[in-house]
């Protein structure tokens, strides 16, 4: 008798769109996406939920659509968290083992990790991830997987990812108002990395640049561990805003121009081509040259790339990144962006598509940079279930039994600090990349679940 299929559902709450996605793992270990639905995101700014009601409506719409498309009903979801409020710290912990002649077990490593959740952090913050970087067993340092080794003292260096309670609670509130439960919150740069980077790239050294609508995430990998990440407070939306103001046109026309005719290299844009934009409320149409449009886009993209370059240098691994740069997210589709990035960083550049781990009929439709985080959330969801041996409440419509409603105390709606950005402050951020305002974060060093994929095998 075949084992019951395991399904996973996830929601990516972004600045420009909200995506609901459901998938399963096939017999080859590849992810098969059974349904995907997206809706415009109007209640989120720079990755932080501002308007709960608008966000809930968008979540409900996408969830209903994806359940109809896939025929899979679910009451739990994995959800991504990101934004400027994310920061990190380093810490070290250890345990003294009683039976040091016995092999180290997975449970002992989990106990060491759980201890890190008890460390002191600032009021209004909470620990989102505890990520072991390496282990020390007695005097043996640099151990990646201690399971199966023997020793008296088990020690580890950790990278601890911290976020605002307010931001996390508002995401939870949105999910719960949509009649769902949060199975786990996953840091979005980790999810995007899983979806588009290969293991060889992570080992050789690579920079992931995820260009979203509100922010750009940078993650530096070397030797299969995340060495540095940062959040840059620009994304595709500021490019659109520049076009809108530079050409004196409407927001929707600026976005359309950027997608259809935009280029990141002004020098190679044709001088003799123009595009006609309808006039506002019956006024005369406006003609905009391709070259002018490209120079507006290039100036803002150079600013973003300069900030990425700063983070690469700041990581301390600039000379070890043999695999160069991988750009993903919706902003990665801008024409000639890889060429501009290569010129500015002097590194090899490719666009990251989430096709590495996908299979099935929907593969081509899903294989776009804008869905990298969504696919990564599904992958992380399966890793979470495998690591903790938990079940996920999802099944085909004919077999689905809705869980009983559990009365939970209401969560106080709190305004996240990052959401309280005045127009003037936003202008200041757009004018210059100020590392004092936006924390330069060195964070997220590895994810422990991968270390334990071979828990039942002896360490070689």
Question: Can you give the pLDDT at residue 423?
Answer: 55
Domain boundary among 311, 328, 353: 353
Whether residue 453 is contained in a domain is answered as: no
pLDDT by 10-residue block (mean), the chain, 460 residues: 74 94 88 93 88 95 95 94 81 90 91 93 91 89 91 90 90 95 91 94 95 88 82 88 93 94 93 89 90 95 94 90 96 95 95 87 85 94 87 77 53 45 54 43 38 42
150 forms beta bridges with: 103
User: Do residues 204 and 272 share a domain?
Assistant: yes
- Contact between 198 and 356 under an 8 Å Cβ cutoff? The reply is yes
Question: Can you give the pLDDT at residue 218?
Answer: 86
In 3D space, the residue among 383, 401, 374, 399 whose CA is nearest the CA of residue 66 turns out to be 374
CATH number at residue 325: 3.30.420.40
User: Domain residues for 128?
Assistant: 87-164
Q: Is residue 376 helix, strand or coil?
A: helix
Question: Can you give the pLDDT at residue 430?
Answer: 54
User: Do residues 149 and 224 share a domain?
Assistant: no
Q: What is the C-alpha separation between 129 and 80, in angstroms, rounded? A: 12
User: Do residues 205 and 349 share a domain?
Assistant: yes
Question: Can you give the pLDDT at residue 418?
Answer: 42
pTM over 0.75: yes
Angle formed by the axes of helices 372-388 and 188-196, to 10°? 100
User: Do residues 105 and 212 share a domain?
Assistant: no
Phi, psi of 429, deg, nearest 5: -65, -40
User: Do residues 215 and 271 share a domain?
Assistant: yes
User: Do residues 241 and 344 share a domain?
Assistant: yes
User: Do residues 260 and 306 share a domain?
Assistant: yes
Whether residue 171 is contained in a domain is answered as: no
User: Do residues 151 and 208 share a domain?
Assistant: no
Question: Can you give the pLDDT at residue 429?
Answer: 52
Domain boundary among 149, 164, 179: 164
Whether residue 438 is contained in a domain is answered as: no
Please count the other Cβ atoms lying within 10 Å of the Cβ belonging to residue 397: 11
Q: What is the C-alpha separation between 279 and 231, in angstroms, rounded? A: 37
Question: Can you give the pLDDT at residue 219?
Answer: 87
Any idea what the Cα angle at residue 440 is, between residues 438 and 442, rounded to 5°?
145
In 3D space, the residue among 86, 308, 355, 391 whose CA is nearest the CA of residue 194 turns out to be 355
Whether residue 230 is contained in a domain is answered as: yes
User: Do residues 128 and 274 share a domain?
Assistant: no
User: How many domains does the chain fold into?
Assistant: 2
If you write DSSP's letter for every residue of 212-263 in order, what string do you get? -SS-EEEEEEETTEEEEEEEES--HHHHHHHHHHHHT--HHHHHHHHHHH--
């Amino acid at each position: 008798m075949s084992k019951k299929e395991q399904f996973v559902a996830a929601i990516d709450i972004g600045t420009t769109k909200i995506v609901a996605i459901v998938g399963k793992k096939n017999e080859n270990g590849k992810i098969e996406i059974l349904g995907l639905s997206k809706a415009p995101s109007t209640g989120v700014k720079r990755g932080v939920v501002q308007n709960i009601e608008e966000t809930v409506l968008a979540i409900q719409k996408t969830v209903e659509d994806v359940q109809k498309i896939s025929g899979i009903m679910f009451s739990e979801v994995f959800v991504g968290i990101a934004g400027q409020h994310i920061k990190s710290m380093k810490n070290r912990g250890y345990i003294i083992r009683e039976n040091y002649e016995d092999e180290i077990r997975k449970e002992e490593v989990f106990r060491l990790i759980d201890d890190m959740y008890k460390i002191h952090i600032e009021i209004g913050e909470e620990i989102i991830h505890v990520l072991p970087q390496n282990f020390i067993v007695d005097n043996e340092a640099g151990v990646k997987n201690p399971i199966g080794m023997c020793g008296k003292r088990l020690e580890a260096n950790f990278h601890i990812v911290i976020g605002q309670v307010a931001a996390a609670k508002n995401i939870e509130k949105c999910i719960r108002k949509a009649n769902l439960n949060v199975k786990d919150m996953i840091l979005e740069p980790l999810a995007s990395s899983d979806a588009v980077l290969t293991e060889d790239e992570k080992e050789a050294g690579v920079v992931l640049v995820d260009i979203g609508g509100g922010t750009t995430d940078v993650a530096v990998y070397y030797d299969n561990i995340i060495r540095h990440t940062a959040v840059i407070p620009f994304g595709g939306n500021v490019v659109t805003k520049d076009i809108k103001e530079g050409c004196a046109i409407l927001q929707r026309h600026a976005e359309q121009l950027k997608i259809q005719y935009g280029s990141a290299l002004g020098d190679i844009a044709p001088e003799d081509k123009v595009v006609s934009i309808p006039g506002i409320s019956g006024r005369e149409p406006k003609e905009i040259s391709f070259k002018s449009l490209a120079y507006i886009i290039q100036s803002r993209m150079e600013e973003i790339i300069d900030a990425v370059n700063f983070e690469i240098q700041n990581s301390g691994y600039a000379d070890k990144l043999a695999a160069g740069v991988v750009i993903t997210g919706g902003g990665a589709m801008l024409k000639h962006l890889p060429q501009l990035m290569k010129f500015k960083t002097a590194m090899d550049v490719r666009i990251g598509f989430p096709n590495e781990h996908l299979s099935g009929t929907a593969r081509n439709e899903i294989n776009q940079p804008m869905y990298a985080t969504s696919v990564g959330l599904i992958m992380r969801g399966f890793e979470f279930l495998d690591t903790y041996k938990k079940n996920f409440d999802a099944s085909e419509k004919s077999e689905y039994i809705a869980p009983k409603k559990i009365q939970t105390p209401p969560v106080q709606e709190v305004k996240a600090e990052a959401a309280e950005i005045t127009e003037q402050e936003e202008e200041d951020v757009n004018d210059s990349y100020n590392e004092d305002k936006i924390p330069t974060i060195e964070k997220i060093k590895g994810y422990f679940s991968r270390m334990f994929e071979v828990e039942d095998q002896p360490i070689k």
